[in-house]
A and B are shown apart, each in its own frame.
Chain A
Amino acid sequence: MKDNLENFFLNRLKDNLPAEAEWNMPSDDAWNVVNEALQEKKSKKRPLFFIWFLVGMVGLGLLYSLFAIQNLKHQIAVLEKTTFIEKIALPNNADSNTDIISNEVIIIEDKKQEIQVLNNDGEEISDDLILVNKTKALNNKVKPSIESIKQQPLNTGNFVSAETRAQTNNTLIAGSFSTNRYNKILTDLGKKPAQVNIETHASVSRSNTNIQPILSALMELRSNVGPIELLCPSPKSTITSDDVISSNKYVELFLAPVWTSVPTSGRPPSEFETFRGSDIFKLTYAGGINFGREILPNFYIKSGINYQGIKYWSASDVSINYDSSLEFLNLDGEMENLQKVVIPTAIGTMVSDINMVHPVDLLIEDNDPLEINFDMHQQLGYLSIPIGVEYNIPLADKLALNISAGISWNHLISTSNIIIPLVKHNGSKLNAKSVNVGSLNAPNIFNYAISTGVDYSLNAKFDMTLRGTYFKNITPLFNMGEMTTKAQGISLSFGIKNKF
């Protein structure tokens, strides 16, 4: 029970007292410091949002790609212009009776899923396409054959065959002309093999995209190609272009699980003697967008903006002396102490407060040595700008082997540290945890990467990609004396490539 004096003080001091600035109101200094610290803590969380934002964007990109594939057939393709390129005159033999249509203009319009092919007289010639498809089926090949494609030195762009274009009928274009020519031959079954004069060729661009390569093609039919041979299961003619619609640029979205580690090499300096890097690979992720441009046939240069995660485990042993001036009794009646400790890590030293709790009957004197073993799980998030080259080797009709190599510049955008201290005093374990972990100042780094994988063609515009990649730091994450730490990793990425 409280006596009068106690009640007197209690009543006077517990009452709501009027605020007096000079006495019982604190200055705003403390709030300013605390508020700043709170905001700083909040802003440190932003990189995490950035990562999720990036992942979201990649996801949306993939969804968009799938959507775009579904809607590819609805694209409207318009033949914009026709250019006379070359006239090739092949000698007719006496029995040939080939209709020659000179300077023929064909306009193809894709109205939703229906394809309408018109010649310059406005007559619909869609049947021609069907005939080509029949030819394809008979030959049991995905593409009808073409004898050869001759590149025109004066033209830039990709040279494609007419009937190949017709075969990919939802994207047209120049091929429709040749298809027409085929039709003339195929429908001429009663005649002997003809020698054909071809003197026109189409040069087109598609207005529904930003792609402006002038496509030019010159198809040269063999002099003895006739309808019978074309309908044979194994025609003599062979395909010379694998790119049905040849695209020289692409954009690729990818997402990849990555396994990384940060081993050390070289002799460590004294303060890092007890630091242990590790070859153990830890799982994290990467993703981003890459752009490629063909600079030689099947040979691309590429770059992009990626997120690259590096996760690793390391350990170190640190000895400190107990500072009893920092200890206090907590509300649970245990002795608590908060001491700053410098910890060697794979990317330099870090400072962390170590909160240690022990029973009051475990006497720890001032300056008593403590042994701390740190178990560290760290994750670095880098904004990565790669640049590299890529080579595609066609393996089958829809499959290509992809080999690429390059370097990347990487800037640290996020860090995450889980530090688990094991503190011992004369063999007795103290309850300890790491709090207020300091920031890491990792330098920008350069990586090299090599990868290989396959591209599977979904259609003329989209490929699905699968890549295995190995990367390693060129410049180290950290070096001191002779010791360096370099991150390495392997990844398996899945992506969608849009060619244009």
Chain B
Amino acid sequence: MSLELINKCQRGDQKSQRILYEQYRQSWFMTCLRYGSNRTQAEDIFQDGLMSVFKNLKQYDSDKSQFITWSTKIMVNAALQSIRKWKKLDIFTNSEYVELEEAIPTNIYDELSAKELTNLIQKLPDGYRIVFNMYVIEGFKHSEIANILNISKNTSKSQLFKAKRMLRIKLESLFQNEYK
């Protein structure tokens, strides 16, 4: 993506804004799909995130980060805001982290599509889903997640562990139903 396109967008050029949107909308929306629990929520997050991206575009500094990294962070932030708005109550059950060694899954799930995997993530409880996405896909460390979500590091680890355990169960159940 050219810096010139970003510069034009920063100057408010409508055509360039449209091109930028076309270029990134799938990637942004994929992020929203993973954080929302269904497509409708994802669309809402997407709209808020899109607005934030274009409103804050002037603050983007190409020397500090890649545009996709910067804009995805904004999308994640929009997702967190939206989920907080929808769920007044604390979405994280403050549980103790229990370190468990898990059996490493085999590659029997290779046949599953990205759509099916995203659907599985969407079905996770909010807390599991957020931490799983932030840690696994976005690459945040547990300490960063703890800071951002105002939870303990152990809670973050615990939520991830539970998310993965639930995903495994769902994957196995899916596999059994589909490929039995």
- CA distance in complex: A25, B14 (Å): 21
Which of B12, B30, B77, B109 is within 8 Å of A24, CB to CB? B30
Q: Does B84 contact A (CB under 8 A)?
A: yes
Contact with B along A1-42 (1 / 0, CB 8 A): 011111011101111010110011111011101110111001
Restricting to A194-212, which residues have a CB under 8 Å from any CB of B? none
Please, which residue of chain B has its CB at the minimum distance from the CB of A9?
B136
Distance in Å from the Cβ of A145 to the closest Cβ of chain B? 67
Q: Does A147 contact B (CB under 8 A)?
A: no
A9 CB contacts on chain B under 8 angstroms: 117, 121, 136-137, 167
Distance in Å from the Cβ of B113 to the closest Cβ of chain A? 8
Q: Does B104 contact A (CB under 8 A)?
A: yes
Given A24-B29, A26-B25 in contact, is the A335-B150 Cβ separation under 8 Å? yes
- CA distance in complex: A10, B164 (Å): 13
- CA distance in complex: A42, B12 (Å): 8
B84/A327 in contact, CB under 8 A: yes
Distance in Å from the Cβ of A16 to the closest Cβ of chain B? 9
A5/B164 in contact, CB under 8 A: yes
- CA distance in complex: A10, B46 (Å): 21
B47 CB contacts on chain A under 8 angstroms: 29-30, 33-34
A38/B17 in contact, CB under 8 A: yes
Taking A4-B105, A24-B30 as known contacts, 6 extra A-B pairs with beta carbons closer than 8 A to each other, sorted by chain A number, are A5-B164, A9-B137, A13-B118, A30-B46, A329-B150, A330-B148
Q: Does A326 contact B (CB under 8 A)?
A: yes
Q: For chain B, what secondary structure do more than half of its interface residues adopt (helix, strand, loop), or is it mixed?
A: helix
B14/A26 in contact, CB under 8 A: no
Restricting to B79-96, which residues have a CB under 8 Å from any CB of A? 80-81, 84-85, 88
A330/B85 in contact, CB under 8 A: no
B25 CB contacts on chain A under 8 angstroms: 25-26, 31
Given A3-B102, A4-B104, A26-B46 in contact, is the A333-B148 Cβ separation under 8 Å? yes
Given A15-B114, A24-B26, A331-B148 in contact, is the A31-B81 Cβ separation under 8 Å? no
- CA distance in complex: A34, B137 (Å): 27
Which of B50, B80, B102, B164 is within 8 Å of A328, CB to CB? B80
Which of A19, A23, A27 is within 8 Å of B43, CB to CB? A27
A34/B54 in contact, CB under 8 A: yes
B80/A30 in contact, CB under 8 A: no
B54 CB contacts on chain A under 8 angstroms: 34, 38
Q: Does A458 contact B (CB under 8 A)?
A: no
Contact with A along B111-149 (1 / 0, CB 8 A): 010110110010000000000000111000000000111
Distance in Å from the Cβ of B19 to the closest Cβ of chain A? 12
B51/A34 in contact, CB under 8 A: yes
- CA distance in complex: A135, B72 (Å): 88
Please, which residue of chain A has its CB at the minimum distance from the CB of B135?
A6
Q: Does A325 contact B (CB under 8 A)?
A: yes
B43 CB contacts on chain A under 8 angstroms: 26-27, 29-30
Q: Does B34 contact A (CB under 8 A)?
A: yes
Distance in Å from the Cβ of A41 to the closest Cβ of chain B? 8
